Amino acid sequence: MVERYFHTLQKSVGPCDSDRLKVIGHDLKAILKRLAYEDTFSRDTHGGGPEHNMLLIPFFVQMQY
């Protein structure tokens, strides 16, 4: 599952030289910030509401270990 996430990420944004932990931390921070400010997720994801994106938080936390 983790390799699939990074493969999809690489297809979307291109090669990334950054450490995987930094990438996961940044993505987690972006989700939490949007939830805190009640900002829309559709700007980047083109779909999915807050309830759906909240399901990613445990996944990101688990990937950091």
pLDDT per residue over 3-61, tens digit each? 787 788 788 888 766 687 788 888 889 889 988 988 887 776 666 778 888 888 888 88
Task: Identify whether 13 is part of a domain.
Answer: no
Per the structure, the complete domain to which residue 51 belongs is given by 18-63
Counted domains in the chain: 1
User: What pLDDT shows up at residue 31?
Assistant: 87
The CA distance from 64 to 19, in Å, is 11
Task: Identify whether 59 is part of a domain.
Answer: yes
User: What pLDDT shows up at residue 65?
Assistant: 59
User: What pLDDT shows up at residue 45?
Assistant: 66
Task: Identify whether 3 is part of a domain.
Answer: no
Q: If we measure between CA atoms, which residue out of 4, 26, 2, 34 comes closest to residue 53?
A: 34
pTM over the 0.85 mark = no
Task: Identify whether 49 is part of a domain.
Answer: yes
